[in-house]
Amino acid sequence: MKINSSRKVVEEILSRADVQIDGSRPWDIQVKNYLFYKKILRAGLMGLGESYVDGWWECESIDEMVVKLIRARLLENLKKDLKVIFLALTAKIFNEGRRSKSSEIVKRHYDLGNEFFECMLDKRMTYSCAFWDGARTLDEAQEAKLELVCQKIGLKPGMKVLDIGCGWGSFLQYAAEKYGIEGMGLTISPEQFKYAQKACAGLPVEIRLQDYRDLKGDFDRIVAIEVMEHVGYKNYRQFMKKVSQCLREDGLFFLHTMGFNRSTISGLEQEPWLFRYIAPNCMVPSLKQISDSVEGLFVIEDVHNIGAHYDKTGMAWYENLTRNWSKIKSKYDERFYRMWKYCWLIGAGCCRARHVQAWQIVLTKNGLLGGYNALRDRLQK
């Protein structure tokens, strides 16, 4: 197909979402390389991301462009790259969450350098959806989220708390300082492990470089904050069985996860560019997949959707990255910078359009007599 013909087809598709080529509005696309048109027609969403990283197009408000594409239901209609289809089919055959695959996400994401994440995240290095009710800054919003988690699981001094996928240790650090708990955190990232050990130094918190499948113990509370995205749908049941084995009979399990509105078998079906270049071998679970995985193991006490808060969180990470890029750009290249800007802008757009959710789920092994006192939009003072 010739360039002019390709352009007409792409223009017609985008017009359904009120997005124009070389238009003057913030969400319009400014094309810099005419190969962009054939790339989109050949590779769909994957091509959209790849061509942005290559510098083939610009857009003042990519986040708002994504909202318009989603609300017009164009994402489902964009032609898929045959390579994406092949990779999604291999995910059905193979176990993307197996141990041998876990190291790939660590190397390509979490071990990019703590200095890089310090430029993006809050002062506690909390890498999950913040809670913005009443918060003015990212630091305040992340502390509000940590406090919300602590209150939802009723922390008390001396409780033994396990954090599966503890990241840089922010939750356990906060819970130990504010509530006097004894904590254990698991991570498979060497960079996170070193940072979390320092962050929790002097507190009754042990950080382990360990896979959750090797865990043994007995805990009053278990939290898993944005970990299910890395588990893989074939391992959900195994993950829940391990949590059940390690949770006391009267304990609470707190699961905070990004959520997708329908069940899939691969992140490549959800946002192919993101789950190939930013979070390889990852996927976002549906509520059905989660409920199936806990059947017979847990009682679901509460489900709270804070997905709208991820829009503002992603934009805050994007703004931090762009503001602080000059401090670290000597260690990375321009393609890396464009890749991560695109990541947070499309992420914020997906959450703003309600295409992606963030669920906080409280579970018990036997059900709480009298019921669970759910917290919603206001923290208890």
pLDDT in tens, 227-282: 999 999 999 999 999 999 999 999 999 999 999 999 999 888 889 999 999 999 89
pLDDT tens, position by position, 141-199: 999 999 999 999 999 999 999 999 999 999 999 999 999 999 999 999 999 999 999 99
pLDDT tens, position by position, 10-65: 999 999 999 999 999 999 999 999 999 999 988 889 999 999 999 999 999 999 99
Alpha-carbon distance of 155 to 261, in angstroms, equals: 31
pLDDT value of position 36 = 96
Closest CA to 74 of 40, 25, 37: 40
Alpha-carbon distance of 114 to 127, in angstroms, equals: 12
Question: Is residue 118 pLDDT above 60, yes or no?
Answer: yes
99-364 CATH: 3.40.50.150
Alpha-carbon distance of 249 to 14, in angstroms, equals: 54
pLDDT band at 79 (very low <50, low <70, confident <90, very high): very low
Q: Give me the residue label for tokens 């999604």.
A: 88
* Distances from the Cα of 60 to the Cα of 90, 271, 346, 353, angstroms: 36, 21, 13, 18
pLDDT band at 108 (very low <50, low <70, confident <90, very high): confident
pLDDT value of position 378 = 55
pLDDT value of position 74 = 87
Alpha-carbon distance of 84 to 80, in angstroms, equals: 7
Question: Is residue 87 pLDDT above 50, yes or no?
Answer: no
Closest CA to 302 of 283, 287, 289: 287
What length is written for the chain? 381
Helix or strand or coil: residue 95? coil
Q: What is the Cα Rg of the chain in Å?
A: 21
User: Pairing relation of β-strands 160-164 and 182-187?
Assistant: parallel
Closest CA to 307 of 284, 291, 290, 280: 284
User: Pairing relation of β-strands 356-364 and 299-305?
Assistant: antiparallel
pLDDT band at 83 (very low <50, low <70, confident <90, very high): very low
Closest CA to 43 of 85, 7, 81: 81
Q: Considering the entire predicted model, what is its pTM?
A: 0.93
Listed by start position, the domains of the chain span 3-79, 99-364
Question: Is residue 203 pLDDT above 60, yes or no?
Answer: yes
pLDDT value of position 60 = 98
